[in-house]
Structure 1
Amino acid sequence: MVGGTGIEPAALNTAIAQAFAKEIDRASLMGSGAEPEIPGLRNIPSINKLSMGANGGPITEWRPFVRARRLITEANAPAPLVDTTGQPLRRPEALSDWKFLTTSQIPTNEEAGTAQNAAAIYVGGFHMFTVYMRESVSIQLLKELYAETGEVGFICHTRLDVASAYPKAFTVIDGVTDPE
């Protein structure tokens, strides 16, 4: 138990680790760069951008991915290296070696013109993208602050940054909407 709080250390460590992992995932991709947030991959200067149109649009074919790959290879950046095991649909040969991963940290309610349900897709060689932990995770127990109500609080923080060895090795496809 943590200081008589009734909280098991393993459960607390797991909950905090999961919260940090989600926020690091979100900030690494989408961070604004406005203090105190890091600039995520989307906001690294020189990254390729590909729009789905003024009002966004659904991806109904492989063409946006082929265009994203073209932007990467035209910049002489290495194409993403990946495995195709278990993919449900046959991809064009140009994308046959790509791996598609998902995260719950990319919002699906961004604005793209009149669309209110847009999201972004990040394409690239993620072996060229690094998250640097500048300071390890710090957790402080705040029992005095909540003493009169019998509650417990925590302050948790870390310092990190991201960098791309080759920004042109990435393309962000913006304005992707659900097919109606």
Structure 2
Amino acid sequence: MSDVGGGQRVRLVLWSDGDLWLLRRTNSPEMTEHLGGPETEEQLVARQRRYVELGPGRMYRVTLADGGETVGSVGYWPRSWQDAEVWEAGWGVLPEFQGRGLAARAVRALLPEARAAGTRRYLHAYPSVDHPASNGVCRSAGFTLRGQADFEYPKGHWIRSNDWRVDLDRLPGGD
């Protein structure tokens, strides 16, 4: 599966047992600044296990469609939000690939995957209000800003987030 928009195309590769290295790469202070900071090795190993076993929902390694070089990760998982069952999306692009629009292309490629899961109508993302790049990804990927909310991530760490949402039933090719 790939996004065919302008610029470099991306491909989503289902997360596998061999992808712990990518979690380690994205565990830098720079990459986790808006997520409560780096995790311990034990936390990373537990996250790796959750990603491999995730269901419902899916995690993917994002690669360049031409050449297959890994540039980051993207995924969706279930969440209860405001008395509804929704999907939550998250992503990260390695520093050397940032600023090229790859995260937005990866999220756009993720949307039909979440729709195909068929169990939830809406996909949300909750980037910090202080994270312009992730908010820009939401805007570029077609999310609608619904407002702000206090959001706990990781557990015990509260941030002020924007609540962005995509109606999966209104995607092109949807019902």
Range of TM-score over shorter length:
under 0.3
Q: Structure 1 or 2: larger strand share?
A: 2
TM-score, length of structure 2 as denominator length = 0.24
Normalized per residue, the structure richer in helix is: 2
Q: Bigger radius of gyration, 1 or 2? A: 1
Greater relative contact order (Cα < 8 A, sep 6+): 1
With the length of structure 1 as denominator, give the TM-score of the two structures: 0.24
